[in-house]
Structure 1
Amino acid sequence: MTSHPPLTVRTATGLTTIVCLSGALGPDTCLDLARELRQPLDQAGRDGQPLVLDMAGVRSVSIAACQALRVATDHLAHAPVLVVGAAPSVRAVLERGKLPGVRIHDTLGDALAALPDTVSDTTAQRAARLSHEADDLRDEVFGLRARARTRTLIGVAQGILLARYGLPGPDAAFALLREGSQRHNVPLRVLASAVVTAPPPHSDTQWFTGRSTRALLPAGGFLQSYDIDAHDRRQVLAAALHEATVVISDAKAAELHLTDPAQDDALVLEQHKGLDAAYRDQAALVTGPPYVCARAQHLREPVNVPDVAADPDLLLHPAGRALLDADSRALACVPLVTPDGHCTGTLTLHWTAPGSWLTDEQRYALDFLATETAAWRSWYRRTVVLNALEYLHQHRVARTSPRER
C-alpha cells in the first residue's frame, strides 16, 4: 500500500467532490482509508455538496475496510455518500455491511438523479460533462505519449531521405513521407519503419527491380467473409478482432500487436477492441516479458493465463496491475507465425473472470485465424508497403532543390 495508495481525490469545483478509490481495500488500509476520507467528507459537508466514492478501480474490499467506511459515514444518513462503479463482488460486501450513510448506484448519473431536487438536472448534466472531459484529457495525454514513441523513428526516416535524395530540409522529407503514406494508405509510422529497414534503392528509377507489384493474396481465409479491401490495414485488423471475439470466442476484449523491424521486432499495439486507455498506454510498445504477447512471440506458440492475479511475474509488473485495473483476469494469446517460422505479431483475448475459456475447437479456429492474419501481414509488407517505398523513390524529384536536380 505504500507505493500504490488506496485512493486519490479529484474535485469537480462547484458541483461535487469525487473520491476515486483503487486497489484492494484490506484490513491494512483501514487507517489510510479513514484518514484520507476525513478531509473530503468535511469539505463536502461545509459546501453542502454530495460526496461521491468512485469504486470502479477497487478489486476487493474487506469487512474491516467496510467497517471503517461505516464509522466515517454513519452520521450522514440524512445526506448519504454516493458510491458508484463498484464491481458486483465489492457491491455485495458493501450491501451486507448495511451502511446507513452510503447509497450505492451503478453510475454517477444514476446517483445524481436519485438525489432530492436540490441537485438539478443541470448539475447532473454538468457533472457528466466534467467526467467526459476528464476522460478526454486522459486520452489526450496517452495520445501524446504514443506520438512521442514514434517521433524518433520518423525523424530517422526523414534523415535517411534527406541524405539519399538531397532534399532541402526536414519539412520536405516529412512531406514526401506523408504523401506516400496517404497515397498508399500506409500509416506514417509503418512507412518510416520501412524506410529505415529497407536496403538502398537498386537504381535511380526503381527502388526494387524484378518485383511483382500485384502479388496475389493468400487463397481462402477470413478476409473473404468480410467486404473489405485487403490493402486497408485498419479494416483488416478490425475484421480479425471481430472474428476472434464474436465468431470464435466470447472474449470481452482483444488486442492485436504487430512487430516493428525497425525496433528489433518489438510488438506495437495496432488495433484493439474493448480495452481501456490506461491499459492501451501500458501495452502500446512491448519489448519483452512478462507481457503475455511477448511470451507468445518468444515461444512461437499459444500462451494461456487462466488468472492474472495468480501469475507472479505479471502481478509484480505494471502490465499485470493494468490488466487487473481494466478488469481482465484471464488471457489467451496466439502468435502470428508465417510458414517459415517468423513471428509477425500476436493476438490476445481478454475475459473478466479467471479460467481457461477456450475449447479445443476454439483454439483450433484461433490458431487458423492467426495463421491467416500472418499470411496477410506478409503479403501486405511485400506489396502495399514496398509500393509506398517505390512511390517515395519515384516522386523525390519534386521535393529536391533546383540545385540538386
Structure 2
Amino acid sequence: MTVQPVAEQAVVLRLSGSIDVRGAGELGRELGPRLRRADERGQRLVLDMSGVRRLSSTAVDTLDAHTRHRTAGPVLVTGATPQVRGVLTTTHLPGIRLYPTLEGALATVCAGGPAPAPAAPERPRTPESPEPPVAGEARDTVGETSGEVLGLRAKARTSGIIGIAQGILMARYGLPDPAAAFALLRAGSQHHNVPLRVLASAVVTAPPPRTAREWFPGRLHTPPPPVGPQDVEAVNPRDRRQMLTAAVYAAVTLADADAAEIHLTDAGQDEALVLEAHHGLDAAYRDCLALVAGPPAVCARAQAAGRPVTVPDVAADPALAGHPVGRAVLAAGSRALYATPMVTAAGGCGGVVCVHRADPGVWLTEGQTAALDALARDLAAWRSWYRRTVVQDALEYLHAHGSSGG
C-alpha cells in the first residue's frame, strides 16, 4: 500500500498484489485510520486497484464493513481489473463507487459533481423496469438526461486531467497558483488552436523538456500526410475540429450509413477512447459513449482486437443487448454497427471510426469496408503527424512562456 495526496480534495491509497485473507486484515487496519483522517481533513479517499491481481471474498467483506455507512461520501475505487471489477460489481457495496480510471474519479472529486450510482447485484429485468446505471461504466441516460446534467458530466471528464497539468506546470515553472497555470495552458491552447483538454493531456504524458530553451530540440517539421476522400483532403490539417468533422461526414457517405462517430485514444486516461466527432447521434448516446474504457462498446472491441468489428444486430448481441451501451445504441435508432480501428504505421491504435445503420444486418459491400478502413488508416497517420507537430508546437509555446515567466 502506498499513499499519495492529491491537491486538497482527495488522497489516493494505491493497492497492489493479491489481497487474500491475511491481506484483508492488513487492508482493514489501514483503511479505518485512513478514512477517519480523510474525513477530518474534508478529503475523499480513492482506492487505486490497478495493481490488484485478485480480491478475495474476505477482502470484499472488509471493504463493505468499513464503507457501508458512507453512501453520502463513498470511497472511490479506480482501475480495477476485469477479475476485481467482477467481484465488486456482483456484491452490493453501497459505500463504494467504481471508476475505470483514476483521472475520472479525481475529475468528479475536483468538480464536486455527483458520483455515479453504486454497483449492485444482477437481478431480473423487464421492459418496464430497466436496469439502473452501472458505476464507472458508460451509463444508460436515455430519457433522463438534461442539458445541465450532460454539461456537468462533460466538465467532470476534463477537469481532472486539466488539474493535473496545472500542478505539473506550477512545479516546473514556479508559477504562483493554479490560476496562473491555467492561464498559461489557455494561452497555448488558443495560440495553436489545440483543445485545452488535448494540450493538458500532452503536458501530463510528454517527457520533461530536454533543455531550458526547447522542449523537443532538433525535431523536424514534416508535411502532413494526405487524408482522403477529397472533402477531407481540402481541410486545413492543423485544424483538428474541422478535420474530424469532415472525416465523420465522409464516413457516413462512404458507408451509406445513418450515423457515425470517431473516437480517439487519450494517453492521459490510459488510452481510453474519447468521443471527438459524431453525426446523427443524440445527446444521451454521446454522453454514454463520451469516454470508453473498454468493451462491450464496439469501438473498444475494435481497439482491443486491432481489426474491424461488425455487429449485425445490437439487439441480438449477447454482450450488448442487456448492457447500458447497447440500450443507448438502440435508443439512438441504430441496430447494426461497423467499427474499424485507426492503426498507425507502428501498429498502435490511435482511435476508432464507427458507422451505424438503422436496419439490422451486414450492409457494407467489400468496396465500402475497404474505403472505410483506408479512411481510418489515413486518420491514424494524420493524428500521429498532428501530435508530433501541432501539439508539440503548443508544448514549446508553454515551455518558452513558462520559463520566461510570461
Q: Distance in 2 between matches of 1:397 and 1:270?
A: 32
Q: 1:373 aligns with which of 376, 379, 384?
A: 379
Cα offset for 1:238?
Answer: 0.9
Q: Look up the match of 1:199.
A: 207
Could you give the per-residue CA deviations for residues 73-131 of structure 1, whole angstroms, max 9, x where no partner exists? Answer: xxxxxxxxxxxxxxxxxxxxxxxxxxxxxxxxxxxxxxxxxxxxxxxxxxxxxxxxxxx
Q: Does the alignment pair 1:240 with 2:247?
A: yes
Q: Does the alignment pair 1:138 with 2:260?
A: no
For the 8 Å contact 1:172–1:399, the answer to whether it is kept is no
Q: Distance in 2 between matches of 1:315 and 1:167?
A: 50
Gapped runs of 5+ residues in structure 2? 1-122, 132-141
Cα offset for 1:245?
Answer: 0.5
Cα offset for 1:139?
Answer: 2.4
Total equivalences in the alignment: 274
Q: 2:177 aligns with which of 146, 161, 169?
A: 169
Could you give the per-residue CA deviations for residues 351-375 of structure 1, whole angstroms, max 9, x where no partner exists? Answer: 1110101000101111111110111
Aligned ranges 1:323-362 → 2 under 5 Å: 323-362=329-368
Change (3 A) 1:220 1:191: closer
For the 8 Å contact 2:232–2:246, the answer to whether it is kept is no
Paired residue secondary structure (2:359): coil
TM-score, structure 2 as length reference = 0.64
Paired residue secondary structure (1:334): strand
> In structure 2, what residue type is equivalent to 1:291?
A
Q: Does the alignment pair 1:389 with 2:389?
A: no
Paired residue secondary structure (1:332): strand
Paired residue secondary structure (2:361): coil
For the 8 Å contact 2:164–2:204, the answer to whether it is kept is yes
Q: Distance in 1 between matches of 2:360 and 2:258?
A: 13
Cα offset for 1:143?
Answer: 1.9
Q: Does the alignment pair 1:6 with 2:128?
A: yes
Q: Look up the match of 2:25.
A: none
Aligned ranges 1:97-116 → 2 under 5 Å: none
Cα offset for 1:250?
Answer: 1.5
Q: Distance in 2 between matches of 1:320 and 1:397?
A: 49
Cα offset for 1:396?
Answer: 1.1
Q: Distance in 2 between matches of 1:286 and 1:141?
A: 19
Q: Distance in 1 between matches of 2:218 and 2:404?
A: 25
Q: Look up the match of 2:370.
A: 364
For the 8 Å contact 2:192–2:390, the answer to whether it is kept is yes
Which structure shows the bigger proportion of residues in helix conformation?
1
> In structure 1, what residue type is equivalent to 2:375?
L
Q: 2:277 aligns with which of 257, 271, 276?
A: 271
Cα offset for 1:5?
Answer: 6.6
Change (3 A) 1:223 1:178: farther
Cα offset for 1:399?
Answer: 4.0
Larger Rg: 1
Cα offset for 1:330?
Answer: 0.5
Q: Look up the match of 2:235.
A: 228
> In structure 1, what residue type is equivalent to 2:128?
P
Q: Distance in 1 between matches of 2:231 and 2:216?
A: 30
Paired residue secondary structure (2:276): strand
Q: Distance in 2 between matches of 1:294 and 1:334?
A: 10
Q: Distance in 2 between matches of 1:157 and 1:191?
A: 9
Gapped runs of 5+ residues in structure 1? 8-21, 24-56, 58-133, 401-405
> In structure 1, what residue type is equivalent to 2:235?
I
> In structure 2, what residue type is equivalent to 1:206?
E
Could you give the per-residue CA deviations for residues 356-397 of structure 1, whole angstroms, max 9, x where no partner exists? Answer: 010001011111111101110010001000000000000114
The percentage of counterpart residues that share the same residue type is: 59
Tell me which stretches of 4 or more aligned residues in structure 1 moved more than 6 Å. none
